[in-house]
Structure 1
Amino acid sequence: MHARSHRVRAAGRTALSLALVSATVLTTQLTLVAPAAAALPGLTRVTSTGPSNSDWKTWQAACPANTLLIGGGGRLNGGDGQIVMDTMVPVFGTTDVYSVTGREDDAPGFAGNWSITATALCAQPPVGWEHAEAASVWNSNSSKTITVGCPSGKQVLGAGVEVNGGLGQVVVDDLRPAADLSNVSFTAIEDGTGHTGTWQLRGEVICVTPPAGLNRVSGFGVLDSTPVKSVTATCPSGQRVHGVGGEVDSGAGQVRMTGVDLLSDTQVRVTAAEDEDGFAGNWAPRAYAICA
């Protein structure tokens, strides 16, 4: 478990990630969330869209000054199911950011242009803010699952997932907050053609002393063979989204999440698409909203 001092360790990764992206932001939007009795003070949603081109890329949304990152999400714009969003992580430094990486899958890749939209959820320092992470071993197993939990008395607000060494051939299948928000379960699976190299799955959670009314809401999509589909999870009346999650049910590595982000201040949307070869089985996306 890491307290706020974890910023120092991650500062180098912030600089590296920033070096991987274009210096020109196409769209950035900062939204102050409408007041709600149980929302964290200063809750702010920052959304930023990067350049559209045919390169693998990382893009980030940054928190305003004097706020902490409590969660975030991302989505791919374009790609026709041939882009793997293999990293959605909080990065803590002088400025907190939520960082999203997309990579084209193996041959033939994707000839068109595509972009990334990253969203950061930020707030004034919440009571009991802590950060925890865990990672799997490096090996060539076709799937991996890890669980990262919060200490007793604290619950999950936000989460992040990263596939190292997957090279666009390993898809994130689960980023699933537990019903009691005590932990988050992460699963990644090699795609339909497999991956000959070794790879690692890493998960992160942001834990806080829970604000009043903190709860998890889910939405389940249609279980069929439609190649692209979306599903939303909506917070109860009077509550706002504080964290996001998603998963693909029965995708067998041939369906990848292309969006796990906020549709609005009260809704989380998860979008998923079959790869270019399609998938004969039935599958469904699931969205999770952490609300307060």
Structure 2
Amino acid sequence: MHVRSHRVRTAGRTTLSLALVSATALTTQLTLVAPAAAVLPGLTRVTSTGPSNSDWKTWQAACPADTLLIAGGGRLNGGDGQVVMDTMVPVFGATDVYSVTGREDDAPGFAGNWSITATALCARTPVGWEHAEAATVFNSSSSNTLTVSCPGGKRVLGAGVEVNGGVGQVVVDDLRPSADLSNVTFTAIEDGTGHSGQWQIRGEVVCVTPPAGLNRVTGLGVLDSTSVKSAVATCPAGQRVHGVGGEIDSGAGQVRMTAVDPISDTQVRVTAAEDQDGFTGNWAPRAYAICA
């Protein structure tokens, strides 16, 4: 596995340019969840849902003024396992946003309408905030794996992954923070019909000087052949979600994550669905909550 140069940014706001084009441009509507007592000052969860139609699309949730993005997640509403959520990334600028892209897979695609819900977790500037990223080279491998680490003893809060060149035929299989939260491993796999083109994955992490009590909580779904299932990770009492992650165990590219989503201040839910051809093996979703 070859990795492009690793870049690190500190808390000065620098715009990250991403080639993400929304099929429909609508004004973002935000739902702010009033923060309870939190380790990070101003910790806020912002959720926004985009239009429901049959186009590929990108949707974003934006942080309030005077806050930085620390993490985020996304969810597909509809799609019946025939839509691939191939981009879930932080975008930093004058206003930080968490951006999610969905694409219908190859023929026959999906005849119905579907939408995207994006969620941003935001806070006033955490101590030691940094952003790091890396990418694999473009190739035609059936799978690619990439690990991005936090620099200087810092620890992961948020993460993002982008599949470039996959055109809906490459599935994000892992967005997995390590047990000690020093890094995140990203894996993407070509779907059951394969992909003839070249593609890459780009991974990003948001890192901070670790607050007291920072830990990773895991929730594992049932290992069986049910076509759609979820897993939930719940923070310990007195802690709140500061970041999210998810993965599919044994999906072989024929199962795709349709939600990696902080559904409340204390829980992260990962939902996954088999593709339109189904999958004969047993598999399970796994949810990760980064709590403090």
State TM-score, norm by structure 1: 0.95
Residue correspondence of structure 1 range 73-152 to structure 2 within 5 A: 73-152=73-152
Cross-structure match for 1:231: 231
| Cα distance in 1, alignment partners of residues 246 and 202 from structure 2 | 16
Which amino acid is 1:243 matched to?
G
Deviation at residue 59 of structure 1 after TM alignment: 0.1
Cross-structure match for 1:57: 57
Secondary structure, in 3 states, of the residue corresponding to 2:30?
Answer: strand
Deviation at residue 23 of structure 1 after TM alignment: 1.6
Which amino acid is 1:249 matched to?
D
Instruction: Name which of 11, 14, 17 aligns with 1:4.
Output: 11
Cross-structure match for 2:261: 261
Determine whether 1:205 maps to 2:205: yes
- Structure that is richer in helix per residue: 1
Identity %: 79
Cross-structure match for 2:278: 278
Secondary structure, in 3 states, of the residue corresponding to 2:42?
Answer: coil
Cross-structure match for 1:69: 69
Aligned residues of 1:71 and 1:243 also touching (Cα < 8 A): yes
Which amino acid is 1:31 matched to?
V
Deviations, residues 53-79 of structure 1 (Å, cap 9, x unaligned): 000000000000000000000000000
Deviation at residue 33 of structure 1 after TM alignment: 2.1
Aligned residues of 1:68 and 1:96 also touching (Cα < 8 A): yes
RMSD after superposition: 1.2
| Cα distance in 1, alignment partners of residues 27 and 242 from structure 2 | 28
Task: From the superposition, tell whether residues 164 and 17 of structure 1 become closer, same or farther in structure 2 (CA, over 3 Å).
Answer: closer
| Cα distance in 1, alignment partners of residues 252 and 80 from structure 2 | 18
Which amino acid is 2:228 matched to?
V
Aligned residues of 2:21 and 2:57 also touching (Cα < 8 A): no
| Cα distance in 2, alignment partners of residues 141 and 129 from structure 1 | 34
Deviation at residue 171 of structure 1 after TM alignment: 0.3
Deviation at residue 6 of structure 1 after TM alignment: 5.9
| Cα distance in 2, alignment partners of residues 18 and 137 from structure 1 | 23
Deviation at residue 278 of structure 1 after TM alignment: 0.2
| Cα distance in 1, alignment partners of residues 13 and 225 from structure 2 | 43
Aligned residues of 1:21 and 1:59 also touching (Cα < 8 A): no
Which amino acid is 2:10 matched to?
A
Deviation at residue 32 of structure 1 after TM alignment: 2.2
Aligned residues of 2:23 and 2:55 also touching (Cα < 8 A): no
Task: From the superposition, tell whether residues 21 and 267 of structure 1 become closer, same or farther in structure 2 (CA, over 3 Å).
Answer: same
Secondary structure, in 3 states, of the residue corresponding to 2:14?
Answer: helix
Between the two proteins, the alignment pairs up a number of residues equal to: 285
Aligned residues of 1:60 and 1:97 also touching (Cα < 8 A): yes
Which amino acid is 1:191 matched to?
D
Secondary structure, in 3 states, of the residue corresponding to 1:264?
Answer: coil
Deviation at residue 4 of structure 1 after TM alignment: 3.0
Deviations, residues 36-93 of structure 1 (Å, cap 9, x unaligned): 4xx2000000000000000000000000000000000000000000000000000001
Determine whether 1:219 maps to 2:226: no
Deviation at residue 153 of structure 1 after TM alignment: 2.2
Aligned residues of 1:225 and 1:280 also touching (Cα < 8 A): yes
Secondary structure, in 3 states, of the residue corresponding to 1:2?
Answer: strand
Task: From the superposition, tell whether residues 19 and 190 of structure 1 become closer, same or farther in structure 2 (CA, over 3 Å).
Answer: closer
Deviation at residue 2 of structure 1 after TM alignment: 1.7
Which amino acid is 2:177 matched to?
P
Task: From the superposition, tell whether residues 116 and 19 of structure 1 become closer, same or farther in structure 2 (CA, over 3 Å).
Answer: closer
Which amino acid is 2:25 matched to?
S
Q: Which moved more, 1:151-160 or 1:81-90?
A: 151-160
Cross-structure match for 1:161: 161
Which amino acid is 1:23 matched to?
L
Task: From the superposition, tell whether residues 236 and 246 of structure 1 become closer, same or farther in structure 2 (CA, over 3 Å).
Answer: same
